[in-house]
A and B are shown apart, each in its own frame.
Chain A
Amino acid sequence: MATVTFDNATRLYPGTTKPAVDKINLKVEDGEFLVLVGPSGCGKSTTLRMLAGLEEVNGGRILIGDRDVTDVPPKDRDIAMVFQNYALYPHMTVAENMGFALKIAGVKKEERAERVLEAAKLLDLEQYLDRKPKALSGGQRQRVAMGRAIVRKPQVFLMDEPLSNLDAKLRVQTRTQISSLQRRLGVTTVYVTHDQVEALTMGDRIAVLKDGLLQQVGSPRDLYESPANQFVAGFIGSPAMNLLPSKAVSGGVEFGNASVKADIKATGAVTVGIRPEDLTVNKDKGLKVTVDVVEELGADGYLYGHVTIDGVEHNITVRVDGRNHPMRGDEVFVLPVEKHVHVFDASSGNRISGAVID
């Protein structure tokens, strides 16, 4: 087991001037499940591939434990790319399927048997060790494939969008399996996804990237309650946080015909962020919303509407009661729940208010 450290790690592709990954500083703790998330082209896969040794590191260093692996070939880094090679061999037993890579690596017979048994116990495959893969169910076969990675006892597991090829239902099931297995094994894991829901449900901590730059690292709760900037605020959470232009006033910010409390020292233009579940509908106070559509989802519903601020129209999403809600075309007012207001600097996009905590 080991920590992983990115120390100003940079990847600049030949013939380009802007780094694909720009001076990333990040420490993954021993046994931690860290998720790299961001939109397409943000550098998350490149970051993972740098750790795997598949991308050159043009600046800075990468350490696994205390060992600088920046220039170490992939196979000597003691990492495993899980979910890459799934092949199971039909004539070999489950034990052979799990252990053959150790044989190739020259591991002694007794140790091979020991490690295979250990992995089989973890995966609940002990009773199948002398059986052929055809005797197993699909889920068991999948675990044998995972066993192949586990017996190598890598210091770090790397997973690059392992669920992207599954349909929605399987994605949820496999997601849970991966998380629980990772926790049972306690192996440091770096996981890449573009899906913020996947990131929030799986990661101990999440690193959000955009344009090759690390935006924020924190627990799912940190990111949700205290996004470091407008990008993270808009990226994490579904439906996305409402981000609206506003002005700082004494002790708070302007919100339509009202002002709401916020702990800020700024003056002038700011951006206000409020999650859909933190807005309440009333008759005459706050921002005036014209309802475009209401999506009913049982107990809850989402109201999608628009507001006009300084002559510019902005979309807004409000969580409403699933049955008792305004209708299309209605004009209503919304106000944020007290203390649930995020304020960002209008020009830099950086957070200037404290965390939103209940």
Chain B
Amino acid sequence: MSGSLNITAAAVEPGLLSLPWDIPLDEWPDDTITALPKGISRHIVRFAQLDGYVIAIKETTDEMAQGEYEMLRSLQKIEVPCVEPVAVVQGRTDREGNPLPSALVTRHLKFSMPFRALYSTTLRPETAQRLVDSLALLLVRLHNIGFFWGDVSLSNTLFRRDAGSFAAYLVDAETGRLYESLTTGQRQHDLEIARVNIAGELMDIQAGGKLDQAIDPVATSDRIMASYETLWHELNDPELLEQNELWKINKRVQRLNELGFDIEELSIKTDADGTKVKIQPKVVDSGHHARRLLRLTGLDTEENQARRLLNDLDAYAATVSLLNLDEEVVAHLWLTRVFEPVIRAVPENLDSKLEPAEVFHQVLEHRWFMSQEQSRDVPLNEAVRDYIENVLQYRRDEELVINPPTGTFTAAVDIIHDSDDFEYTDEPIPPRGADEPVRDWRDLV
């Protein structure tokens, strides 16, 4: 291998050097590559093991690898939910000294899944709606910090379970740009891209026969507009209050808290004659419940999981309220007496099924259903046993779901056979497969 290999990495990753950088990515040996089919995409992306975790390696141009690495680093610094950049590998050459493309290395997000892994037979309406809503929330968060995505889609997002809904993570920052703030036009453009892409993705699932008949791809994708707008206005719109309605400021703060946001900075301005006050959130930060839970218990969870766990914590606090304890002490008691015993009850071999916070949430759900069914208050330990025996052990492992790959394929710009004068070459058409019956295409458009 040439001595000019150049690895830029955020942290020391000695394992990176042992990967076969002098071989084109699509020829990497099976013992290096995590056994998964290669996706068809604009760039070659494959998964490998590195010091006990899984990394995604994308071969691309020098400029793009560097650009996307830096973009992901910047996003990570401002706590945007996105994949973690590990390194950029430049100056690769094969054994004969021929140059190989640069590579971007990112760490796989544990327990995150591509949207096509979130249904086995058909995508159900509730799941589709939750996916779209979580993408809307992610887009609002990104736009709020001035990030224009440029390629919003379900395929460019990874999803983690979040107490009945999903938490969305940005995967592909290739087309993204960070600005001081976004113009309305930029936000509208991103939303339009999202709407068209989501509809396209759902129509594709429909064409594959895996979309619940109740789902209308266009209506479902339209949902991102409403979902986004509601949230955006709640976070950003100024509010004009009378001098005697200042209590409404607290109401606004509460409303945002309920949506999962904290106001870090609020602008309060009095108008010229001093009768009205204009308030406008300036800096808002998502993760209101997750932060509170982290402060109280040290548990790092998604927002809705935190909401769920905090509810349970509050319920627990009521049972020990006579003791007149500090919130922190109650939280510690809840953690050691309620949360941890549930998690410890999960046998080690089932650890990789779900994240602990998600297990806890599902146990609470399970207990509720059992109690409904049996018309009695089912104790937690009984619910845990029943849940493990009848639910958890039958679930698939979700710690490492990379498959199926995101599914859409982007035009492979690296294999153009056309001649320069735009006379298209007549390539032989491959034979028609079973999934391609002869039909009049006009019926399909």
**From B186, B430, B439, contact of A54 by CB (8 A):** B186
**From B183, B413, B421, contact of A55 by CB (8 A):** B183
B245 within 8 A of A: no
A56 to B183: give the CA distance in the assembly, Å: 7
Of the candidate stretches A82-90, A221-229, A245-253, A347-355, the one touching chain B is A82-90
**From B64, B200, B408, contact of A100 by CB (8 A):** B200
Q: Are B199 and A132 in contact (CB under 8 A)?
A: no
Contacts of A124 in B (CB 8 A): 424
Q: Are A86 and B205 in contact (CB under 8 A)?
A: no
Q: How far is the CB of B143 from chain A (nearest CB, A)?
A: 13
With A53-B189, A142-B413 in contact, is A173–B42 under 8 Å at CB? no
Q: How far is the CB of A272 from chain B (nearest CB, A)?
A: 37
A73 within 8 A of B: yes
With A84-B150, A87-B408, A177-B418 in contact, is A130–B63 under 8 Å at CB? no
Tell me whether chain A's interface is mostly helix, strand or loop, or mixed.
helix
Q: How far is the CB of A45 from chain B (nearest CB, A)?
A: 10
B112 within 8 A of A: no
A116 to B435: give the CA distance in the assembly, Å: 22
Contacts of B422 in A (CB 8 A): 176-177, 180-181, 184
**From B201, B207, B414, contact of A170 by CB (8 A):** B414
Q: Are A176 and B429 in contact (CB under 8 A)?
A: no
Q: Mark B169-194, 1 if CB is under 8 A from A, else 0.
A: 00000010000110111101100110
B195 within 8 A of A: yes
Q: How far is the CB of B201 from chain A (nearest CB, A)?
A: 7
Q: What is the chain A residue whose CB lies nearest that of B439?
A: A130
Q: What is the chain B residue whose CB lies nearest that of A102?
A: B445
A259 within 8 A of B: no
B79 within 8 A of A: no
A141 within 8 A of B: yes
Within 8 A of B (CB), among A1-52: 13-15, 52
Interface-centre pick from A89, A128, A140 (highest chain B CB count, 10 A): A89
B382 within 8 A of A: no
Contacts of B183 in A (CB 8 A): 54-56
Within 8 A of B (CB), among A126-171: 127-135, 137-142, 144-145, 164-167, 170
Tell me whether chain B's interface is mostly helix, strand or loop, or mixed.
loop
Contacts of A138 in B (CB 8 A): 411-417
**From B148, B180, B204, B445, contact of A90 by CB (8 A):** B204
Contacts of B408 in A (CB 8 A): 87-90
B221 within 8 A of A: yes
Q: Are B196 and A139 in contact (CB under 8 A)?
A: no
Q: Are B189 and A54 in contact (CB under 8 A)?
A: yes
A323 within 8 A of B: no
Contacts of A167 in B (CB 8 A): 61
**From B192, B204, B411, B438, contact of A92 by CB (8 A):** B204
Q: What is the chain B residue whose CB lies nearest that of A179?
A: B422
A87 to B42: give the CA distance in the assembly, Å: 9
Q: Mark A295-322, 1 if CB is under 8 A from B, else 0.
A: 0000000000000000000000000000
A103 within 8 A of B: yes
With A93-B441, A129-B441, A165-B64 in contact, is A84–B409 under 8 Å at CB? no
**From B180, B416, B440, B442, contact of A13 by CB (8 A):** B180
Contacts of B444 in A (CB 8 A): 92-93, 95-96, 130
A280 within 8 A of B: no
Q: Mark B400-411, 1 if CB is under 8 A from A, else 0.
A: 000000011111
Q: Are A84 and B200 in contact (CB under 8 A)?
A: no
Q: How far is the CB of A132 from chain B (nearest CB, A)?
A: 6
Q: How far is the CB of B415 from chain A (nearest CB, A)?
A: 3
Q: How far is the CB of B403 from chain A (nearest CB, A)?
A: 15
A74 within 8 A of B: yes
Q: Are A131 and B63 in contact (CB under 8 A)?
A: no
With A54-B185, A112-B445, A139-B416 in contact, is A96–B438 under 8 Å at CB? no
**From A55, A91, A99, A145, contact of B411 by CB (8 A):** A145
Q: How far is the CB of A131 from chain B (nearest CB, A)?
A: 6
**From A89, A96, A174, A180, contact of B445 by CB (8 A):** A96
Q: Are A96 and B63 in contact (CB under 8 A)?
A: no
B436 within 8 A of A: yes
Q: Are B201 and A89 in contact (CB under 8 A)?
A: yes
B203 within 8 A of A: yes
Q: What is the chain A residue whose CB lies nearest that of B407?
A: A90
Q: Are A74 and B61 in contact (CB under 8 A)?
A: no
Contacts of A240 in B (CB 8 A): none
Contacts of A166 in B (CB 8 A): 61, 413
Contacts of B148 in A (CB 8 A): 54
Interface-centre pick from B188, B429, B444 (highest chain A CB count, 10 A): B444
Contacts of A104 in B (CB 8 A): 195-196, 199, 218, 221
Contacts of B410 in A (CB 8 A): 86-88
Q: Are B203 and A89 in contact (CB under 8 A)?
A: yes
With A53-B189, A165-B64, A167-B61 in contact, is A87–B155 under 8 Å at CB? yes
With A92-B203, A139-B418 in contact, is A130–B412 under 8 Å at CB? no
A72 to B193: give the CA distance in the assembly, Å: 17
Q: Are A165 and B63 in contact (CB under 8 A)?
A: yes
A283 within 8 A of B: no
B153 within 8 A of A: yes
A109 within 8 A of B: yes
A101 within 8 A of B: yes
With A103-B445, A104-B218, A139-B416 in contact, is A91–B189 under 8 Å at CB? no
Q: How far is the CB of B346 from chain A (nearest CB, A)?
A: 37
Contacts of A101 in B (CB 8 A): 196, 200
Binding site for B on A (CB under 8 A): 13-15, 52-56, 73-75, 84-96, 98-104, 109, 112-113, 116, 124, 127-135, 137-142, 144-145, 164-167, 170, 173-174, 176-177, 180-181, 184
23 examples of A-B residue contacts, CB within 8 angstroms: A56-B184, A56-B185, A85-B151, A86-B42, A86-B411, A87-B153, A87-B200, A87-B409, A88-B409, A89-B407, A90-B208, A91-B205, A92-B444, A93-B444, A95-B441, A113-B442, A116-B445, A131-B432, A132-B435, A138-B414, A138-B416, A165-B63, A177-B418
Q: Which 8 A-B pairs have the closest CB atoms?
A: A138-B415, A89-B204, A91-B208, A180-B422, A95-B441, A91-B207, A130-B441, A138-B412
Known: A89-B204, A173-B416, A174-B416. 17 other contacts (CB 8 A): A14-B181, A54-B189, A73-B185, A85-B197, A90-B208, A90-B408, A91-B205, A92-B200, A95-B441, A95-B445, A104-B195, A140-B424, A142-B411, A176-B421, A177-B422, A180-B422, A184-B422
